[in-house]
Amino acid sequence: MSKVILITGASRGFGRIWAEAFLKRGDHVIATARNLEALSGLTAEFGDRVLPLRLDVTDREACFQAINAAVAHFGHIDVLINNAGIGLFGAVEESSEQEARAQMETNFFGVLWLTQAVLPVMRQQGSGHIIQVSSVLGLVTVPVLGVYNASKFAVEGLSASLAAEVKSLGINVSIVEPNAYTTDWSTSADKSQAISAYQPVKDVMWASFTTPGYFGEPSATTPAIFKLVDAAEPPLRLLLGKVGYPIVKQEYEARLNNFEDWLEVSEAAHGNQQGA
């Protein structure tokens, strides 16, 4: 059976690729973007199976209005894909207040507002699937993307807690964690005003982008997203790409080793109070 799927940030990148793929296989899509004109091609090709909506995900009231419009048009929502997001290249010291707040407003609060808006609908339905597009950088960190890392770590924590809250209500939650892909994310990301002291670490970071096979092919993610949406028991987390897993495995093994090296100190910090 066809599904009704709401995708934010559908004007480009993963959002556009997935919106077109769902429509081509017969699903119905609510496609949102800040610029409605960017969605005109979808309307021209797929007609009334797509509902284009102008949406700034940082506007909480607008997020609720978008959900209401989607339900009024299609009657229900099976899947919400929180895909809208922005990037920021800059060392932590370099990042301005405005840049940092913009990251959290879009990447975290935008996710929170759409999630809160769709939950009453899915609770009433007794079913639904919320898919949060995070990043491998929501699991591991790299220099020069610290504020972006923070926004995605926040999405991870929110979504894992949410999953435990809504599972008994018939609602599934999944976190999608892509590694780097050849979308326009890196070129469209903001860049903080540079401080020369951080140039050496930036040079190392930029050099990693030239590693053969570092970037995945965006269209290759479509079968994985189909499987995730169609799964009877979808996973909480899904890595996309072949670069992410070894990086995450190495990071988590290092964390465990660190905890074990300092375990005696950690346990002593508990104190000796009996019955506590």
Residue 198 annotated as catalytic: no
Question: Contact at 8 Å (CB) between 176 and 134?
Answer: yes
Residue 177's DSSP bridge partners are 239
Active site residue 214: no
What is the rounded CA–CA span in Å between residue 190 and residue 127?
37
Of 11, 95, 134, 151, which one is the catalytic site residue? 134
CA distance 254 to 85: 29
Say if residues 14 and 82 touch (Cβ distance below 8 Å). no
Identify the burial level of 102 via C-beta atoms within 10 angstroms of its C-beta, where 0-12 means exposed, 13-18 middle and 19 or more buried: middle
Active site residue 249: no
Catalytic residue among 11, 95, 135, 148: 148
Reported residue count of the chain is 276
Catalytic residue among 95, 152, 181, 192: 152
Angle between helices 13-24 and 222-230 (to 10 degrees): 60
Helix axes 110-125, 60-74, angle to 10 degrees: 30
The secondary structure of 137-174 as a DSSP string is GGTS--TTBHHHHHHHHHHHHHHHHHHHHHGGGTEEEE
- DSSP per-residue letters across 14-25: HHHHHHHHHHHT
Catalytic machinery residues: 134, 148, 152
